[in-house]
Amino acid sequence: MDIKAVLLDTSFIIRLLSESDVLHENAKAYYKHFLDHGVDMKFSTISIAEYCVLGNVSELPLRNLKIVPFNFDHAQRAGQFAATVYSARNEGQLPEIKERLLIPNDTKLFSQADLDSSIQYFVTSDTKSKNVITLLNNECGARLQHLDIHTPINEFLCELF
């Protein structure tokens, strides 16, 4: 399978840039694979805002990232996604999602990935987001795939074939 594009989560970039992080080597291996294989690495303006809470935009590898601005269509889809996630959480379907603040930013990112037909994977270290993505695929007809960098790149590549 040929990967055309991925949307990188803020958590991926944090691990990539932090050499002391336990997932740094995994993040670096994915990043190198994406670069070596011409995979478009997309990064949302939402993730830039999240990163800049504790970091500086000058630290980001911007020359290798395609910035995805949050737009009107993303906003509409994110509203649908958020309503679905809130409802599922309130019904006990997503017990791991406790913080209300996580839902809006995540659903915005998922809407961007869903509406960009070139993006095949949401690349993250957030294991909890897999259940949310599965819910959105089932309930909203989203077409997202979760790529958790806890899985080393060689294991992931074996799963593709």
Q: What is the pTM of this model?
A: 0.91
Give the C-alpha separation, 106 to 152, whole Å.
23
Q: How many domains does the chain have?
A: 1
Mean pLDDT by runs of 10 across the 161 residues of the chain is 92 98 98 97 97 96 97 95 89 72 82 97 94 95 96 86 49
Q: Exposed, middle or buried by CB within 10 Å (0-12, 13-18, 19+), for 69?
A: exposed
Cβ atoms < 10 Å from Cβ of 158:
10
Q: What CATH number does the domain containing 25 carry?
A: 3.40.50.1010
**What residues form DSSP beta bridges with 98?**
none
The whole domain housing 20 covers 5-160
pLDDT value of residue 119: 97
Residue 65: name the closest of 145, 147, 125, 8 by CA: 8
Residue 110, CA atoms < 13 Å, CB-side half-sphere: 31
Look up residue 112 and give its amino acid: Q
